[in-house]
Chains A and B, each alone.
Chain A
Amino acid sequence: MKLTNTLMAIAAIAVMGFSTSAMASGGGAHLKHAEIDVTNQEQLRRGLTVFTDVCMGCHSAKYITYRGLMAYPELGLTREEVDELRGDRSLMSGMISDMTPEDATSSYGKYPPDLSLIVPGRRGGADYVYSLMTGFEHDPAGKVPDGNYNAVYPGNRIAMPDPLSWLDHDEADTAELEQQAHDVSAFLAFIGDPHQNERRAIGCWVVGFLLLLTLVLWRLKVEVWKDVKH
């Protein structure tokens, strides 16, 4: 029994150590907390608008098809709304930017990454996206041109020019821009794993059932073992 406890304690310490150190390893700059709710339809739809109006100028989200947009209950888009978004693109097409890789490379020096998996694919996730959107500053050293200096981007020099025009924005617009950054972070967090809400909803039932099963089997074990003398 003593060893069981010791080993369990070691395992618990290991797991706790793992999770805290993982949270601490967010990268260079301190990330701001993104206020997102991937079950909030209004926020997700506002985020979709930011995504199609701003991000999709250069970025794609190839794993999100227009048909998929219609199918996610979280977004609740109608066929008409999707038709308006897709223009003459096929319903089965992914959300592909009109900018060609060649144009992007000649304008910005690199091809903008696909955003389907940008939240799970970056340390800090949605917090990173939000902090990046609101992280454009003047380079303290004066070397990196305005619009290419970002406080949270690794190395600080980013090819993406300030998409929300955060740098030198009017004080009165701060709340609006922050809201846009929150909303687009929420949308990107949602499309990173579009079944996440369904997963968590089913998970409550599965874990609940297994807890009950564990309880029943534990009582059964005690019952079966009651005649074993130690």
Chain B
Amino acid sequence: MIEKLMKTQLFAWVDRRTGAEAIIKSQLTEYPAPKNLNYMWNFGSLALLMLVLQIVTGIFLVMYYKPSAEATFGGFTVAFDSVERIMRDINFGWLIRYMHAVGASMFFFVVYLHMGRGMYYGSFKEPRELLWIIGVVILLIMQGAAFFGYLLPWGQMSFWGATVITNLFGAIPVLGDFVTQLLVGGFAIGDPTLNRFFSLHYLFPLLLVAIVGGHVHALHVVHSNNPDGIDLHKPEEMIPFHPYYTIKDAFGVAFFLTIYAYIVFFNPQFAGYFIEVDNYVPANNLSTPAHIAPVWYLTPWYTILRSFESKLIGVLAMGGSLAILFLLPFLCKSAVRSARFRPVYQIMVIMFFIDVIILGYCGHSAPTPTLKIVGQLSTAYYFLFFVALPFLPKFEKTKPVPEGI
């Protein structure tokens, strides 16, 4: 179909002015991709899909959402009322809002699997270090966008979650109070906070679009890694991106959308994991919920924060746990990329994935002494994993790496 289109006069006219043919050839029909990519390589396109869906649904939500913490009848606010108006009175507002709220969780789900794939197959290693680093920047901006967005409905968990997180900045020596007040727009979470969070919630996705562009560009310079983690040179090892991976990604998209639609239409709250029960209660600064926890995709880092008695160390550990991701390409020194041929790394990285899930579970549950110790041990392993990486090549016996695929 693309070939037919490229033979038309209209295309020739466009091509003479944009070089469209060269772009299509170099980026799609002649863009070389390894032929042995497995389904773990589908999550990049799914993440892009979720970014687009979040932006599109978000734009429609903003048409009706009102960022104001002004009180209305019955202990509600203008912001809360406008969300309920979207859910009840706007035609298909419920669909758009559930797509957006569930979409946030699905976005993180595919991005975490995308990152896990990169870690397992060594996709962050030379020459893809910058590709990984740009990806970590994307993760941080996503987490920021999700945090800002969660305040907007002005429910109990919006309010108290924002209170807890903004207070963290107070632990920074000297500048702490200034930074907190700048972020909050006053001395406590209130109307100015809501307005600036709304502004930032609109800004961050725009940043994401730009940086995702850089991520894809960087990928197209260094090309995809593959499950064997080896450099491919022979032409018979490669297949053009289009049609092979466009159709494979399309299949992945349809499969993913089926699951996404099932959740949106049949279980949008997902038992309180995607939309928390407490957020159906309007924000009340006089009544703290019994248990404050962020949404599941932020809970691993929340556990790391809570694992330390000192607030400052907790904040530093949480920041460090994210910052250390930037260093991964430089900490992991083994010449072999894929965990398939690295028996020790393979065990360590699978344990790391399980560790992050345990951290997430601990952060979501109400704190108990047992969970606290489990959380502290998991935090210890989280950092131990990164600290041990540089020493692995000294004793790890890697399996022989294949010549080609």
User: Which residues of A come within 8 Å of B, CB atoms?
Assistant: 1, 3-4, 6-7, 10-11, 13-14, 17-19, 21-23, 25, 60, 62-63, 68, 94, 96, 111, 113-114, 116-117, 120-123, 154, 192-195, 199-200, 202-204, 206-207, 210-211, 213-214, 217-218, 220-221, 224-225, 228, 230
The answer to whether B280 and A120 touch across the interface, beta carbons within 8 angstroms, is yes
Q: Among A17, A63, A113, A202, point to the contact of B84 (Cβ < 8 A).
A: A63
B186 beta carbon closer than 8 Å to chain A = no
Distance A111 CA – B287 CA, assembled complex (angstroms): 13
The answer to whether A3 and B354 touch across the interface, beta carbons within 8 angstroms, is no
Please name the residue on chain A nearest to B36 by beta carbon.
Answer: A230
Distance A96 CA – B76 CA, assembled complex (angstroms): 14
For residue B117, which residues in chain A have a CB less than 8 angstroms away from its CB? Answer: 3, 7
Q: Among A10, A122, A192, point to the contact of B357 (Cβ < 8 A).
A: A10
For residue A63, which residues in chain B have a CB less than 8 angstroms away from its CB? Answer: 81, 84, 88
The answer to whether B257 and A210 touch across the interface, beta carbons within 8 angstroms, is yes
The answer to whether A123 and B277 touch across the interface, beta carbons within 8 angstroms, is yes
For residue A22, which residues in chain B have a CB less than 8 angstroms away from its CB? Answer: 271-273
Contacts A17-B361, A122-B277, A230-B35 given; does A220 touch B251 at CB 8 Å:
yes
Please name the residue on chain B nearest to A114 by beta carbon.
Answer: B74
The answer to whether B271 and A193 touch across the interface, beta carbons within 8 angstroms, is no
- Within the complex, the shortest CB–CB distance from B314 to chain A, in Å, comes to 24
The answer to whether B254 and A7 touch across the interface, beta carbons within 8 angstroms, is no
Q: What are the 10 A-B residue pairs with the smallest beta carbon separation, nearest first? A: A203-B265, A121-B280, A22-B271, A210-B258, A214-B254, A217-B251, A114-B74, A120-B280, A221-B251, A117-B280
Q: Which residues between 70 and 114 of chain B lie within 8 Å of chain A, taking CB atoms? A: 73-76, 81, 84, 87-89, 94-95, 98, 113
User: Which residues of B come within 8 Å of A, CB atoms?
Assistant: 35-36, 38-40, 73-76, 81, 84, 87-89, 94-95, 98, 113, 116-117, 120-121, 227, 239, 243-244, 247-248, 250-251, 254-255, 257-258, 261-262, 264-266, 269-273, 277-278, 280-281, 290, 296, 339-340, 350, 353-354, 357, 360-361, 364-366, 405
For residue A60, which residues in chain B have a CB less than 8 angstroms away from its CB? Answer: 73-74
- Within the complex, the shortest CB–CB distance from A124 to chain B, in Å, comes to 9
For residue A213, which residues in chain B have a CB less than 8 angstroms away from its CB? Answer: 254
Q: Among B120, B248, B261, B277, point to the contact of A221 (Cβ < 8 A).
A: B248
The answer to whether B254 and A3 touch across the interface, beta carbons within 8 angstroms, is no
For residue B251, which residues in chain A have a CB less than 8 angstroms away from its CB? Answer: 214, 217-218, 220-221
Q: Among B121, B239, B340, B354, point to the contact of A228 (Cβ < 8 A).
A: B239
Please name the residue on chain A nearest to B277 by beta carbon.
Answer: A123
The answer to whether B255 and A10 touch across the interface, beta carbons within 8 angstroms, is no
For residue A117, which residues in chain B have a CB less than 8 angstroms away from its CB? Answer: 84, 280-281
The answer to whether B261 and A96 touch across the interface, beta carbons within 8 angstroms, is no
The answer to whether A10 and B74 touch across the interface, beta carbons within 8 angstroms, is no
The answer to whether B76 and A114 touch across the interface, beta carbons within 8 angstroms, is yes
The answer to whether A7 and B281 touch across the interface, beta carbons within 8 angstroms, is no
The answer to whether A224 and B273 touch across the interface, beta carbons within 8 angstroms, is no
For residue A206, which residues in chain B have a CB less than 8 angstroms away from its CB? Answer: 261, 265
Q: Among B73, B120, B265, B271, point to the contact of A202 (Cβ < 8 A).
A: B265
- Within the complex, the shortest CB–CB distance from B251 to chain A, in Å, comes to 4
Instruction: List 27 contacting pairs A-B, 8 Å CB cutoff, sorted by A.
Output: A3-B117, A4-B39, A7-B116, A7-B353, A13-B357, A17-B361, A18-B270, A19-B270, A22-B272, A25-B365, A68-B88, A113-B281, A117-B280, A121-B280, A122-B277, A192-B280, A202-B265, A203-B265, A207-B265, A211-B258, A218-B251, A218-B255, A220-B250, A221-B250, A224-B244, A225-B244, A225-B248
Distance A18 CA – B361 CA, assembled complex (angstroms): 8
For residue A214, which residues in chain B have a CB less than 8 angstroms away from its CB? Answer: 251, 254-255, 258
For residue A3, which residues in chain B have a CB less than 8 angstroms away from its CB? Answer: 38, 40, 117, 120-121, 227, 339-340
With A7-B120, A19-B270, A23-B271 known, 17 other A-B pairs at CB within 8 A are A3-B227, A7-B116, A17-B361, A18-B270, A113-B75, A121-B277, A122-B277, A202-B95, A203-B266, A213-B254, A214-B251, A217-B254, A221-B247, A221-B248, A225-B244, A225-B248, A228-B244
